[in-house]
Amino acid sequence: MTARPAPPPSAAPRLTRAGVAGALALLLLTGAQVTHSAWQDTETVPVGQIRTGSLGVDLGAATTTVSHTDLTPGATTTASTRTTTRTLAPGAPASGLVVGDVMTTVVPVTIAATGTNLEATLKVDPVRAAGTGALAAEVNTGTTMTLTPTGGAPMLSPVRGQADAWAVTAADDGATYALTVTTRIRPTTDGAARSSTVGTGNWWAAGLQGATADPRALTVRVTQN
């Protein structure tokens, strides 16, 4: 009996083995927390209990105030000053501002965030002001924002590396925050106390007088991560 020569090795079995090995490796690498056992259970869920999550923000009515330092009534010296705050009518411009004045807009922001393991970012984006050059620039650089919990809402953590951004989870659903947008027109060109000689040094002098900055749109956006 003569032995039959061994058939030449075929490429197909090798490819199959390699594929199966790769698939097993991929399977092992996907999610260590995944069990592949065949346990199973069955529950009957009433129709209507299946809900999708939600994500959104709701802005309440904004209130804008302007604080201004001026002479006290009947002042006999220039050192007799006081700071007062006036509230603007809704939609009214903040006119007649003076360097050193501070305009503050407070708007309630209510978060809607439902969904399992939901993670999102709340971001506030003011449009850069347009208008008379120097004042527009001053308004843009002098605008800051804070987000303060109200009514026992949980504190939001700022998102590292992003300005005016906070982390939101489903735990914040229904929470309301006071978004405070502060626009500060510096009292002097460098923000420091004015120099002793009137009109020189860091004095604005005629700068920023009779200037305008257009209304600015401010977008509050919440985006799932």
Partner 1 sequence: MTRPRPRRRLPLVALLCVLAMLAAFALISPGGGTQAKWAGSQQMTLPAIGTGRIDLAVRPTAQGTDVEAGVANSSGFGLEYAPTQVRFAARSGSTTTAEDVNTFLNRGAGTSFAVHTATGCASTTTGARWSSPRVDNTTTGSLTTTASGTPAHEPLATGAADRPLCLGVRPDATTRDVLLTSAGREFQTTTTVQAATVAPGSWSTTVPWTSVHAVDLPTATARTGTNGASFTLGWAWPDTASSTDPTTTPAVNRWEVQMRSKTSATTGTWTAWSALGTVPGNRRNVTVTPPTSGSPWTTSTQFQFKIRAYPFAGTAKYVESSTMWQYTRSGTTYTRASTFPTNPTPGPVGYDALSLG
- Binding residue for partner 1, selected from 12, 38, 45, 47, defined by CB under 8 A: 12
Q: Toward partner 1, which CB reaches closer, 47 or 193?
A: 193
Residues contacting partner 1: total by CB under 8 A: 97
Residue 24, H or E segment: helix 11-29
- Residue 118, beta-bridge partner list: none
Q: Which burial class, exposed, middle or buried, applies to 76 when counting CB atoms under 10 A from its CB (0-12, 13-18, 19+)?
A: exposed
Residue 139, H or E segment: helix 133-141
Q: Toward partner 1, which CB reaches closer, 156 or 185?
A: 185
Return the residues of window 78-117 that contact partner 1 according to CB under 8 A.
Answer: 78-81, 88, 91-100, 103, 105, 107, 112, 115-117
100, 186 Cβ separation under 8 angstroms:
yes
- Binding residue for partner 1, selected from 11, 45, 47, 50, defined by CB under 8 A: 11
Count the alpha carbons within 13 Å of 5 in the hemisphere toward its beta carbon: 3
Return the residues of window 138-197 that contact partner 1 according to CB under 8 A.
Answer: 139, 181, 183, 185, 187-189, 193-194
Return the residues of window 41-80 that contact partner 1 according to CB under 8 A.
Answer: 53-59, 62, 64, 68-71, 73-80
- CA atoms of 68 and 31, how far apart (whole Å): 60
Q: Toward partner 1, which CB reaches closer, 86 or 151?
A: 86
Smallest separation (angstroms) from partner 1 to the CB of 172? 13
